[in-house]
């Protein structure tokens, strides 16, 4: 049955322009799904899958203690896959349409305060190896609200110095322009002029802005490791990731009075409802201010 997965992944890559990480997730979900149907349900033809088989698969995922969010993602993937098979004439109907997905409670993302971000940047020693690079990375992520993949793939040529903007290659090949603040620009210039040349000479063909000591572009995992390292040294006791800087960027803009549409454009969200989660964070901030300063909370 698995011969259809390859064709499906190819369609997703060409028509939807999904990133490699998303494609890998789809593939993992489908390989697991096919294995279950073959080994547990004894079905060697995808056209034989019925609603009862799918319900058995959902029970199987629940038994594995998968989160509601992960199960929802898996079912969504299988539904899209069966729609593809239907359009290709491989099956006669889509049995996934009648399967309910679990309700997922909205979880507000973790953010850092302005003081916590300042503290992390302050604890990166100026004379430490690659300190200019690390400061420039986190200043840029926070100043521009970048996804970690966008940062890793960011090219030197995408800095528009004269207009004080950067050009970001976002999800699905979509480009957007985002302002970059003076502190982030200063740290970028320091890194580019004083530190990057010693990295880039080891592999001059690398066009990405942020490099490892070997002249290669940084990976998502490396950015995560760097942030955890400096956050731990700064004694920031929160569960944080590079995406936390993006969440903080959006929340702080809204707290400062920015309009939702502008924040949506800077984040590169296709749907404003995705950006609206940060208005909930803003309300939490207001409630905290109220709790802290209102006399009836004594």
Clarify whether 291 is annotated catalytic: no
Q: Pick the catalytic residue: 26, 81, 142, 278?
A: 278
CA distance 82 to 90: 9
Clarify whether 243 is annotated catalytic: yes
Count CB neighbours of 258 within 10 A. Answer: 14
Tokens found for residue 273:
């409802």
Q: Pick the catalytic residue: 82, 133, 252, 269?
A: 269
Rounded to 10 deg, the angle between the 220-233 and 242-255 helix axes is 70
Clarify whether 73 is annotated catalytic: no
Tokens found for residue 39:
């080994």
Q: Pick the catalytic residue: 147, 185, 247, 252?
A: 147
Structural contact between residues 82 and 95, judged by C-beta atoms closer than 8 angstroms: yes
Clarify whether 52 is annotated catalytic: no
Residue 42: which region, alpha, beta or left (left: phi > 0; alpha: psi -120 to 50)?
A: left
Q: Pick the catalytic residue: 73, 90, 119, 171?
A: 171
Residue 9: which region, alpha, beta or left (left: phi > 0; alpha: psi -120 to 50)?
A: alpha
Q: Pick the catalytic residue: 133, 196, 246, 252?
A: 246
Clarify whether 40 is annotated catalytic: no
Looking at residue 50, the DSSP 8-state letter turns out to be -
Q: Pick the catalytic residue: 167, 228, 243, 285?
A: 243
- The torsion angle over the Cα atoms of residues 59, 61, 65 and 69, rounded to 10 degrees, is -110
Structural contact between residues 169 and 140, judged by C-beta atoms closer than 8 angstroms: no
Clarify whether 246 is annotated catalytic: yes
Active-site annotation, residues: 147, 171, 243, 246, 269, 278
């Amino acid at each position: 049955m698995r011969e259809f997965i390859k064709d499906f992944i190819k369609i997703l890559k060409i028509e939807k322009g999904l990133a490699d990480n998303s494609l890998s997730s789809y593939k993992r979900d489908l390989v697991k799904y096919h294995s279950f149907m073959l080994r547990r349900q004894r079905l060697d033809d995808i056209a034989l899958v019925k609603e009862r088989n799918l319900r058995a698969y959902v029970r199987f995922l629940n038994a594995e203690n998968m989160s509601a969010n992960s199960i929802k993602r898996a079912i969504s993937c299988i539904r899209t896959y069966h729609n593809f098979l239907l359009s290709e004439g491989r099956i006669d109907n889509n049995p996934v349409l009648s399967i309910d997905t679990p309700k997922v409670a909205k979880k507000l993302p973790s953010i850092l305060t302005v003081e916590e971000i300042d503290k992390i940047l302050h604890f990166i020693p100026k004379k430490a190896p690659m300190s200019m690079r690390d400061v420039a990375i986190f200043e840029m992520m926070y100043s521009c609200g970048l996804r970690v993949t966008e940062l890793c793939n960011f090219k030197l040529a995408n800095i528009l110095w004269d207009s004080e903007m950067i050009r970001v290659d976002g999800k699905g090949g979509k480009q957007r322009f985002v302002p970059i603040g003076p502190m982030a620009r200063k740290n970028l210039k320091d890194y580019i002029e004083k530190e990057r040349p010693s990295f880039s000479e080891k592999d001059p063909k690398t066009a990405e802005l942020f490099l490892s000591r070997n002249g290669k572009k940084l990976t998502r995992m490396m950015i995560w490791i760097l942030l955890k390292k400096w956050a731990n040294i700064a004694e920031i006791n929160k569960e944080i990731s590079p995406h936390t800087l993006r969440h903080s960027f959006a929340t702080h803009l809204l707290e400062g009075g920015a309009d939702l549409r502008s924040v949506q454009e800077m984040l590169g969200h296709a749907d404003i409802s995705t950006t609206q989660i940060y208005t909930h964070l803003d309300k939490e901030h207001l409630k905290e201010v109220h709790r802290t300063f209102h006399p009836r909370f004594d």
